[in-house]
A and B are shown apart, each in its own frame.
Chain A
Amino acid sequence: MANKSERRDLFPGALEMMILQSLRLAPMHGYALVKHIQQVSDDLLQIEEGSLYPALQRMLRERWLEAETGISAKGRPTRIYRLTSAGLRHLEQELSSFEQMTTGISRVLAFART
């Protein structure tokens, strides 16, 4: 937040993709998701809460996720998000189109450099 201006905006759908991918490993609650993404990206990516929770609700509405009552790592009641089969399908689609896109982009960038 403080270093917001230094950071590049994520492209549309990137947040969703990362959330889905993270939840594919294991169901987790909101705070855990933030932590997980932060750690896995070696602090390169920091999820804003202001984006996370609306995104989670949108994904619940699309039925990519399910929320269930659970207990956080610290023993407090919270909601655990779990990937649904629809979410998994969506993730696979997104990943393949993302891969195509990065391949395309890197080819263009590689060509420009030569």
Chain B
Amino acid sequence: MAHVVLKDLVKTYGSFKAVNDVSLTVNDGEFVALVGPSGCGKTTTLNLVAGLISVTSGDIVIGDRVVNDLDPKDRDIAMVFQNYALYPQKSVYMNLAFPLQMRKLPKDEIDRKVREAARVLDMTQLLERKPRELSGGQQQRVALGRALVRDPAVFLMDEPLSNLDAKLRVQMRSEIKRFHQDLKATIIYVTHDQLEAVTMADRMAVMNGGYLQQYDSPAQVFAHPANMFVASFVGSPAMSLIPLEASTANGGAVLTSAEGWSLALSPRNAQKVARATTRKVVLGARHSTIKLHKSAIADAIPAKAYTVEPTGDVTFVQAFLSGAIVNISVSPNVAIAPDEQIWLEFDQERIHLFDSETEVALEAS
């Protein structure tokens, strides 16, 4: 196993910058998820690490070697592809043996390693089959087996679960996580599904538009999103982002909506708002931090329920504030009808404030 360092990594196609100055370090044995919407540069970044495309500028270090100019085969990596990329003409056994044959290992050692990998992944009885005779989950397992049979320095995984049905995806998710824990493998895992990143990774790198937005543990990213993009991308349903105007009244800071209501801020939040470049700020709140009341109380903001979505464990209510959608979660025991008058109370300790110009999170000094 080895660590991976990306230093000021840039990849351009003509005038289009697919990857922009991305720098991050993946520690030895760490599981890092590259996550972002499609076209954000995460797969390009992974392909750069794999050596399938060439670097425009910057450095990639695997272990202690700069690998910029090395062929994929010399980088000591293994990769699991979204469509598995199993060799269709070869049996499962030969698929697993291929990376070892390429490295000219003796026949009996290849046989030993292939059978060992098959045993670990519980597919000994499938060895003689062709990939097309396997189910999606089994194919996925063979792809994983082909990666681990060689004991590489780094595992690269490109959306390995997105071709599976929902149930199997959850199952394979825990299998890959277990696989990481057992092998202490260094894994770089690309996904567009923030839930996969949050549940599996030690650290997640959120990307958008070719830029690295935030690189931290899922808990940190969730609790302290660096900017509005990260805030709205991580977490489901998305964090509500309400555009407001800051002003001072009665010696304290107040956020005022164009709709007429206003929200008094705690001293700490007032400090944050004071650092904004303009007076326009965005209030962010996750569904679980907003309290819903069915009658007016002090400091609660009046709104109308727009939709009500029961999910069993919890019921999601949507409302509009200042033209933005606000998601609130309530206990399924609370009966709310669409168009019912409700009052929303924000938790001053758990709201997020963003500069509406730069979209960056505002921090108290």
The answer to whether A and B come from one shared complex is no
Listed in ascending order, the chain A residues whose CB lies under 8 Å from chain B are none
